[in-house]
A and B are shown apart, each in its own frame.
Chain A
C-alpha cells in the first residue's frame, strides 16, 4: 500500500504545482498518470522516486516515510526516470548486472535472466556501450533495468517515449505480466489508448 497524504509541491512560493493531494493505492494496482505537458506529472513521479522532496505532506510505502528513509524504500522500487541519461561507458548487460548485484540478487541464473529480458525487448546491442545507443535503445535499457530486479513498485515516466509501435506492445505485455505478480505501477504516458487495459485507475493532471 502506498499512501500519499496532503502532498503539496511548489518551486516558487504561492505557485503550487499541486496542493493537498491525498490518495491511497493498494499493492498490485496500476495507476496511469496523465495530463498535458507541464501539468506536474513528472514532478509527481519524481517525488514518488525520491528525486524530489515535497513542500508539504508525505508519502508512505509499507509504513516507510519514503523521504525520511529513502534507502529502505528504494530497494523495493524499479525506476524509469524521465531523463534518458545512463552510464555511457557501461554495456547494457553490465548495467543490469550492476542493478542485480546492488540488490544482492545476483546468482547463477542472472546472466540468462538478463539475456531473456533483452530478447523480449529486442535489444541486440546488449554488449555495446550505452553511449552509442539511440534514444529508443536507451529507453529499452532503462525499462530492462527497472524490471530486472522484480520490483514491488514500478515508477515509470514516459517509458514508451521513443519506442516503435511493436516495442510498445512488447513493453505493455511485460507490464501486464509484472502487474499480475502483484507489482504496483505508477506510469505516465501519452499513449493512453494502448494502456487502457493496464490501468486500474488514473490520476489526471493538473490536480
Chain B
C-alpha cells in the first residue's frame, strides 16, 4: 500500500507523510506497548529458565519489535518506493530513513523502560489506602470507573506520546530553519535516551519484570465489581444478536471489555485512518486502508479464541460448533455501525470512500469475520482427541 501510495510522490510530500507516520507511531507505541508486554504468557518459562537480565531485555525488545517492524517497513516504502526517479534525492531519503528508524527504535526502548518498571507504582495505587481514596473520589465526583492501578500506565502513555510528538514538531521546526541533516541528527538524542535507559542503565530488569508481570496478571484478572461499566451490561441489551447465540456473544463482550479497552482501541484505529485520509492519498489506496482496518477488527475474534477466554471443552459442552462460529461472527457486528458512520463522515469531508467502495469494504468486513470465525470452529473441531 505504501508503494501504491507514494510511488510517484515528490520528496517534500514523502517527508511530510513520514512525519505523520512518525506521529502515528509515537501514539501507537505509547498506547500499545504495555498490552503487548503484560501479562506475559511465557513468564513461567522465563522463571523456570531463570534467564539473565540481559537476555530478558533482548527478549522483551524482540517481543514488541515483531509488531513495530511494520513501521520500519512502512518508513522505507514511504521514502524509497519511487517509480519516477528511484535514484534521485538518495541522500535526503537515507537521512530521513535513519531519522525515522532511530526515533522509533529510541521511543520503543524508552517505552519498554517505562512500562517495565511500572509494576511497583501500579501496585501501590491499586492496593494502598491512598489508591482506595482516589478510586472513591473518581467514582463519586467524576462518575468515571477507573482503577487507580491503571494511573501509572496512563501517565506513561501521556509522557511517551507527548515526548514523541513534541520531538517531531520541534525537530521539524529545527529542520526548516537549519536543514534536514540537523533534523535527522536530532533523532540520535531519542535513540540514545532510549538505549541508555533501557539497556545501559536498566538495573535488575528481571526484578522489575517479575513485579510488573505479576501485577498485570492480577490486574487483568482482578474483579472490578460494580465499578466498571461492563459489570452493568445485561444479556437483554444485546438486542441485535439472534436469541440462540445472544448469551454466547454476551459473555465474550464481557470478557473482551475487561481484558482490553476495546472501544478505545477501535477509536484509535479510526483516528489513524482519518490521519491518512487527511493526506488526500489516491482513492484506491484509501480503500485499501479502510479494507485493512476493517479486517483488523477481527483480531477480537482471535483474542476470544484463546483458551483462557474459550476453554474448548466448555464451548463444546454448551453449544454446537456452528453456534460458536455464528457467535464469533455476530460479536463483530457491534463495530459495523461505527465503521459505516466513520466512512460516511469521511465521504462528507474528503469525498472518499464512495458508496460503492463502502459496500465493498462492508462485504469484506462481513466475509472476513465469517472466515476468521470459521477458523475458530475448525480449531474447536480439531481439538477433539
Interface residues of A (CB under 8 A from B): 11, 43, 46, 49-53, 70-71, 74, 77, 79, 81, 83, 85-91, 94-95, 97-99, 101-102, 125, 127-132
Contacts and interface: CB of A to CB of B under 8 A. Distances in A.
Contacts of B255: 87-90
Interface stretch (B29-37, B153-161, B200-208, B221-229): B221-229
B223 A128 contact: yes
B309 A87 contact: yes
Contacts of A79: 313, 317
Nearest to A72: B320
Interface stretch (B58-66, B246-254, B345-353): B246-254
A139 to B, nearest CB: 14
A128 B317 CA distance: 23
Contact of A90 (B224, B251, B312, B384): B251
A70 B316 contact: yes
A46 to B, nearest CB: 7
Nearest to B220: A131
Given A51-B384, A87-B311, A99 B223 contact: no
A102 B319 contact: yes
Contact of A98 (B218, B223, B251): B251
Contacts of B258: 89, 129
Given A81-B314, A91-B223, 4 more contacts: A89-B254, A90-B251, A132-B222, A132-B223
Contacts of B259: 89
Interface in B238-266: 246-248, 250-251, 254-256, 258-259
A47 to B, nearest CB: 9
B380 to A, nearest CB: 11
Contacts of B223: 91, 125, 127-129, 132
A50 B254 contact: no
B237 interface: no
Given A81-B313, A98-B251, A71 B222 contact: no
A127 B228 CA distance: 13
B308 A131 contact: yes
Nearest to B311: A85
A131 to B, nearest CB: 3
A89 B313 contact: no
13 contacts: A11-B385, A49-B317, A51-B385, A53-B385, A70-B316, A71-B320, A83-B313, A85-B307, A85-B308, A85-B311, A89-B258, A129-B223, A131-B220
Contacts of A77: 317
A63 to B, nearest CB: 20
A91 B318 CA distance: 17
Contact of A129 (B222, B235, B256, B310): B222
Given A71-B320, A132-B222, A98 B247 contact: yes
A102 B307 contact: no
Nearest to A86: B311
Interface centre among A50, A90, A99, A102 (most CB of B within 10 A): A102
A89 B225 contact: no
Interface in B309-366: 309-314, 316-320
7 closest A-B pairs by CB: A131-B221, A128-B223, A89-B255, A85-B311, A101-B247, A71-B320, A88-B308
Contact of A49 (B235, B310, B313): B313
Given A46-B385, A132-B222, A102 B316 contact: no
Nearest to A71: B320
Given A87-B308, A98-B247, A131-B308, A52 B320 contact: no
A102 B251 CA distance: 11
Contacts of B316: 50-51, 70, 74
B385 A52 contact: yes
A98 B235 CA distance: 9
A88 B317 contact: no
B226 to A, nearest CB: 9
A70 B381 CA distance: 12
Interface string B204-221: 000000000000001011
Contacts of A74: 316-318
